[in-house]
Amino acid sequence: VARPTDAREAGGSHYWWTVGSQRNARLGHHRGHSDAVTELNSGVDKQPALPASLAEYADRLLLSTGLQVEEAMLIACGQLEPPPELEGLSRALRTGWSAADSA
C-alpha cells in the first residue's frame, strides 16, 4: 500500500480533516460521487474531525466504491443508507462501528 500523499510528520496526528469540509487536494477526490446514498439525518456538521492520516487511508480503501470518507462514516454510524450494491460494505462498516459496544 502506498504511503499517504501528505507530508505530515511521523506521529503528528494534529492535522485533522473536518468531516463535511471540502478536501480538494485529497487522493481520489475526482471520482464519481455516489448520488444514490440516502441521508437519514443531516448531522454532517455535527460529525467529529478525523485525523488526516486516517482520512487518507480511508480514501484509498474506498477508492473503488465511489464513497468518500464522510459518507463512509455516516454509513458506519447509521445516519446514511447506502445503495443496495454497497450492502456488504455497509454491513462490514456498521458491524465494525458497533463492535465497540459489545466489548
Partner 1 sequence: MSVAFFDLGQRLRAAAESRPVSRSSFAPVLPPVNPVAVMITGSGDSTLLQAADDVRQVVASGPDALSKLSELGVTLGSDWRTLVVAERGTLAHLLELACASDPQSENASAAAVVGWWAQRADHPGTGAVLDVTAACSARWVLGDEPSSEREVAEWRRWLGVSDPGPRGLLELATAVSAVATLPGLHALAEEDRIAWDGFVARVSDPTSPWDWRRRDNRREAALGLASRCDATELFESLRLGDPLIATRESFSGTVVCYIVTSLPSHSVVEITLDQLNCRLRVQTDVEGFAGHPRDVAPALAATPLVRGRVAATRVTPQEQLVVTIGDAILRSVPIRQRITLRPRSIDPRQQRSGRQELHRRYAARRAWLSGGAAPTPRRRDVRSMWSSPRLSNDSPFRANRRANTPRRIRASCTAPLGAAASSCSDIGSATRN
* Chosen residue from 18, 27, 34, 47 binding partner 1 by CB under 8 A: 47
Query: What's the CA gap between 47 and 43, in Å, rounded?
Result: 7
68 touches partner 1 (CB under 8 A): no
27 touches partner 1 (CB under 8 A): no
Least distance between partner 1 and beta carbon 30 (Å): 21
Beta bridge partners of 45: none
Least distance between partner 1 and beta carbon 33 (Å): 19
11 touches partner 1 (CB under 8 A): yes
5 touches partner 1 (CB under 8 A): no
Q: What are the residues binding partner 1 (CB under 8 A)?
A: 4, 10-11, 13, 47-48, 50-51, 53-54, 56-58, 61, 72-73, 76-77, 88-89, 91-100, 102-103
